[in-house]
Amino acid sequence: MHSNWRNKKAWESFALPLSSPSDEACKMFDATVTQYVGWYDDDSVGGIEGSLSKMMSADQNFVMGHVLKNGLELLGTGRNLKLDPELKADLDLMITLAEKSPVCDWERKHVQAMHQWSKGNMKKASLVWEDILTEKPTDVLALKFAHDTYFYLGCLPDMRDSVARVLPQWKKSMPLYSYLYGMLAFGQEETNLFTEAEKSALKALSLNKRDAWATHAFSHVNEMLGRQKQGSDFLEKTETDWASCGMLACHNYWHWAVYHIERGNYEDAIGIYENAIYPRFTKSGAMLDIVDAVSLLYRLEFEGISCSDKWKEAFEICQPHKDDHILSFNDAHIMMTCMGSNNQEEAQIFLQSLQNFINNGEGDNRNISENVGKAICEAIFAYKNGDFELAVDLLMSIRYQIVTIGGSNAQRDVFNLLLINAALKSPLQKYQQLARGLLYARKCFKENAPMTDRLMARALGNHVD
C-alpha cells in the first residue's frame, strides 16, 4: 500500500504541480487521495478525516485541498448543497480562493468541475475532468472523480474508456498504478466484457491483494456469469484483505449475501446482514452502505422472507436524506424503506418532495428524476399497495432507461425483480404471460440462475394458456 506521501517537489515531478507552498499540505493531499482511491482509512494519518484535517491546518488556502474536501462530500451523495449552508460556504470559499490565488490551469479546471457538480451538472463536470486527463493523464483524482460520476449516471462505456485512455501512459512505478486495473475491470464488466474484466481484476489483485474495488469488480463478474459458489468462496477466502477497506467492505458483503439469496441460502444472507452489513450502515450513515442494506432487505422480501423487524431502523437512517434528491438511485431505496416499514404517509410526503424537486430543481438528476426516477418510486409504492398492474406499466415504460439512475447492473437488478414479481402477482393473463417472457430473457442472459428457476416455477404454476 502506498504510504510514502509525496511532498511539493514530488508532485511537480509527476507534472502535477500543487499551488500550496506547504510540504505537509501536499503530503496530506496525497494521503487523502490514496485513501479515497483505495477505499480505506490509514490509521497512521488518522484516516481520511485525519489527513483532511491535517491538510487544511497546514494550508487553509490550499485550493486543491478545498477541491478534494468538497469533492468527497459532494460525491458521497449524502449532503445536499441547497439544504446545507456549511457545505455551500465551503464551495463558495473554494471558488473565491481559486479566483484570488495563483493556481495552475489544471487546478482551476478542478474547481470548475466541482462547481458544475455542485449545481447538479454531473456530466459537465465529467467533461472537465476528461479535459484535465487529456493533458494530465496521471491525475488520479480527476480519474476517480470521473469514474464515480459515470457510475452515478449509468454512463457505462464512459466509465470503461476513461481508464483505458490513460492506463498506457502510466508507469508501473507510479503510486496507485495498480488501482487503475480494478477501475478498468469494473468498466469492462459493466459493459459485458466479462473475460477482459476478470483478467483486469486479477491483474490488480496480483499487484495489491487489498484492492477492494478490484475484489468488487471480480465479484460482479462472478455475479453476471452465475458463478455464485465461486464468488462466495472467493470472498470468504480473501475476507481479511478487503474487509480492511472499510469504505467498501459493506458493499462486498452485500455481494456475498446476494450470492446466498440467489442460491436460496437465506439464513446465510441474513447472517451477513446482521453481522456485517447492519453494524456498518448504522454506524457510517453513508449512502453506499444504506442502499446496500435496503436493497438486501427488499430482495429477501421478494423471496418470501419477512424483514419487518429490520425495516424501521433503515427507514429512520434514511430520513435525513428524504429531501436530498441527489441521485434517483438513492431516492428509489429511500422509497423502499418507506414501504418496507409501512409508512404510507411518509411515502406520500416523499413522492411530493420528489415532485417539488422536479418542478423547481435543476441539473442532471432533476431530468433523470422526471423521466425515470419518479416512475420507479411510484412503482414501488404501487407494488406494496397491491396495484401490480400499475407497477408493471410504470416499469415497462422506462425499463431500458433505468440504467440512467446509476448504480451497477447487479444493483439495478432489483428493479427487474420488482417488475417480474409484480407481473407474477397480477391476476391478469397478459401480465402472467409477460412474466414468463421476462424470465425467458433473464435465463438467456444468465443460464446458471437458481433464483430465475424458482421464479419460473411460480410462473408455470399459474397455469397461463
pLDDT tens profile 140-187: 999 999 999 999 999 999 999 999 999 999 999 999 999 999 999 999
- Domain closes at, from 91, 126, 153: 153
Rg (alpha carbons) of the chain, rounded to whole number: 22
pTM of the model: 0.96
Q: How far apart are CA 102 and CA 121, in angstroms?
A: 26
Asked if residue 246 belongs to a domain, the reply is no
What grid cell was written down for 197? 474484466
Asked if residue 69 belongs to a domain, the reply is yes
Q: Give the residue numbers spanning the domain of 75.
A: 1-153
Below-50 pLDDT ranges, the chain: none
Task: Determine the distance from the C-alpha atom of residue 286 to the mean position of all C-alpha atoms in its chain, rounded to a whole number.
Answer: 11
Q: How far apart are CA 160 and CA 359, in angstroms?
A: 34
The answer to whether 27 and 51 are in contact (CB under 8 A) is: no
CATH (domain of 67): 1.25.40
What grid cell was written down for 433? 404471460
Asked if residue 269 belongs to a domain, the reply is no
Task: Scan for cell 502510466, then name that residue.
Answer: 170
Asked if residue 254 belongs to a domain, the reply is no
CA distances from 380 to 312, 326, 373 (A): 17, 19, 11
Asked if residue 182 belongs to a domain, the reply is no
The answer to whether 62 and 19 are in contact (CB under 8 A) is: yes
List the end-to-end C-alpha distance of the chain, in Å, as a whole number: 60
CATH (domain of 410): 1.25.40.10
Asked if residue 230 belongs to a domain, the reply is no
Note the pLDDT of residue 78.
85
Note the pLDDT of residue 254.
98
Asked if residue 194 belongs to a domain, the reply is no
The answer to whether 388 and 431 are in contact (CB under 8 A) is: yes
What grid cell was written down for 255? 455481494
- Domain closes at, from 105, 135, 153: 153
The answer to whether 377 and 350 are in contact (CB under 8 A) is: yes
AA letter at 231: G
| Number of domains, the chain | 2
377 CB-side CA count, 13 A: 32
- Domain closes at, from 153, 179, 200: 153
**Cβ count near 57 (within 10 Å):** 12
Note the pLDDT of residue 101.
86
Asked if residue 377 belongs to a domain, the reply is yes
What grid cell was written down for 442? 433473464
